[in-house]
Amino acid sequence: MKYPKGFKFGVATCAAQVEGCGLDGGRGESIWDVFARRPGAIADGTNPSTGACDSYRLFDVDLWNMMDLGVNAYRMSIAWGRVMPEGIGRINQQGVDYYKRCFEKLLKAGIEPNVTLYHWDLPWALENRGGWMNRDSKYWFQEYAANMFRLFGDIVPTWVTVNEPIATYVGYGQGFFAPGYTNKRWGNQARHNIMTAHGAGVEAFRASGAKGEIGVVIDIWKRIPISDDPEDVERAHDEDEENWKFYTDRLLGSGYSQYILDKFSREGTLMDMEDEDFRLSNLPIDFYGMNYYNTVPVGKSKVKRVAGENGGNFAEDRDTTNPEGMAPVLKMIMDMYSLKLPVYITENGFGHAGAETPDPKDGMIHDDKRINYLSRALRTVEGMLAEGMDIRGYYLWSLMDNFEWSAGNSYRYGIIHTDFATYRRTWKKSAYWYRDYIRQSLSHL
């Protein structure tokens, strides 16, 4: 038996990437709506209104596709601005009704919702108060989280506070993501604050008495030096510290590393911090969600990216495929923090740059490279389970092609093809493959 009883085979999406439909239903603007209007910010000039999948209107179609795939879990996110258009204060009942319908329909279909509160779409009204750079952001997030637990705590079994906190750094420190600032000090403050906010969310969850489980999602893009030249080794170490250890040390460990504190002090980019921030982010969680895509070769002979042209979704790490790396990377994290928590692989998938077109002979999109990647990734999960690792679920990114942030629609991660002119969904070969894989795996249980 490869998979334990109750294992979750899921697909994942996120509100800002799939809902579309502009501000219909009273949604307040997010930082991504505004950022997308900046010339050049999104590679192909698309935006989260028209460049997503119109799932706000077409949720039932997505549900039918999930039922046909045979998944038993769906990882989705709530658009903060749909339920609280100004970020704090007023609740938008239409938005609440929308998510309630989604959750109820999923549950009725035997598909467990795994709901992320924050997947990068900060309400614009809060950005106008300083966004994630403002230390009050923990109160804003706590208010929003408490509302969601009160409204949905009895029907949503699994919650994620924050997806990939690094996105705030890319947004405030590097400028590739919304809101598009390029100030490292700001980036550091924003990423520090969002992790405090995560803790404030956990605190609200415990106070609400909701019976489900709550965790956080951190993506690990482990750097591998391309040689044992000390310069390459040091560069990989520095990038590990900046790109994922910053978050895991704080959330799974006990605080920032001395390396980070020294480096930021030297640079003059150290953030304002208080003890209370660390009390919050150290509150116990119920699981760790790992997003894993690939490992990243690093060394001085590799030109990383062309400043100003690349970054975010265009980082050269996208070209490497190492699904097998998921096992040593997760093992490294577990060892590093003596982690006893259950783990979900909250995202894993394969991106294709550019259009994927159907074969004129049979009308099928033969995304064999994606199937190759996914089958190797799932074999790796099987191996980890066989070794006794406590992995409770696997969520494939993504159910369908969607708004791939600064890459717009120019990168496709879906196992279902989205036509962004009509929003018609069409299964790719990988969707059939995943359906068969799930069927076979569940039949062993």
Which spans of this chain sit near ligand BGC (rule: CB under 6 A)? 14, 17, 163-164, 219, 291, 313, 347, 397, 404, 413
SS3 of 445, please?
coil
Contact 134, 188 (CB under 8 A): no
* Minimum CB distance to ligand BGC, residue 431 (Å): 17
Cα dihedral 334, 335, 338, 344 in deg (nearest 10): 0
Cα dihedral 239, 243, 247, 253 in deg (nearest 10): -30
Contact 423, 441 (CB under 8 A): no
Nearer to ligand BGC, 142 or 346 (CB): 346
* Minimum CB distance to ligand BGC, residue 58 (Å): 19
DSSP assignment of 322-343: -GGGHHHHHHHHHHHTT--S-E
Contact 400, 414 (CB under 8 A): yes
Nearer to ligand BGC, 189 or 313 (CB): 313
Contact 290, 346 (CB under 8 A): yes
Nearer to ligand BGC, 251 or 270 (CB): 251
Nearer to ligand BGC, 256 or 397 (CB): 397
Active site residue 86: no
Q: How far apart are CA 131 and CA 105, in angstroms?
A: 34
* Minimum CB distance to ligand BGC, residue 406 (Å): 10
Nearer to ligand BGC, 127 or 219 (CB): 219
Q: Which of 238, 244, 247 is nearest to 266 (CA)?
A: 238
Active-site residue identified among 164, 239, 242, 404 = 164
SS3 of 75, please?
strand
Contact 106, 43 (CB under 8 A): no
Q: How far apart are CA 233 and CA 361, in angstroms?
A: 49
* Minimum CB distance to ligand BGC, residue 405 (Å): 6
Which stretch of DSSP H or E encloses residue 343? strand 343-348
Active site residue 213: no
DSSP state, residue 30: B
* Minimum CB distance to ligand BGC, residue 219 (Å): 6
Q: How far apart are CA 277 and CA 287, in angstroms?
A: 20
Nearer to ligand BGC, 112 or 164 (CB): 164
* Minimum CB distance to ligand BGC, residue 221 (Å): 9
Beta-carbon count within 10 A of 187 CB: 24
So which residues are the catalytic ones?
Answer: 164, 347
